[in-house]
Amino acid sequence: MTMEIEFPGNKKVNARYNGFTIETDQAREEGGDGSAPEPFDLFLASMGTCAGIYVIYFCEERKIDTTGLKMSLSFDRNEQTHLIENVNIDISLPPGFPKKYRSAIIKTAGLCTVKRNILKAPEFKVTAQIRES
């Protein structure tokens, strides 16, 4: 699988993948235009939305209404390394959500593929070559 990375100008970096263009930019204070999320924001969003789709599938399989269902993601970052030390996902279950499924939905949210890839980090290989004109 290949994702094409493009540089449309200033601090913008876009990714083209599977028919979509994913736009990123840097904040104004970092020299960007602030016109799109920063790459790290998308990383965080991928964790939350991945857990979210697992929660939706869980509810759909059990015919549980998702009206009023909410989730939030928070994290703590090490100030020296700027790396995330822990991620917290809170699932706010609507009134009437079956109590018997509470622990199961928590476990299901934790099964997300993004999380599993973080826990079993892939090997990164970076290469560079000069294109011929």
pTM higher than 0.85 for the full model? yes
- In this predicted structure, the answer to whether residue 32 has a pLDDT above a threshold of 90 is yes
Same structural domain, 61 and 19: no
Tens digit of pLDDT for each residue in 89-117?
999 999 999 999 999 999 999 999 999 99
Tens digit of pLDDT for each residue in 57-98?
999 999 999 999 999 999 999 999 999 999 999 999 999 999
Same structural domain, 114 and 68: yes
pLDDT band at 133 (very low <50, low <70, confident <90, very high): confident
Rounded to 5 degrees, what angle do the CA atoms 72, 87, 100 make?
60
Domain containing 105: what range?
38-119
Same structural domain, 53 and 104: yes
The DSSP H or E segment spanning 45 is helix 39-61
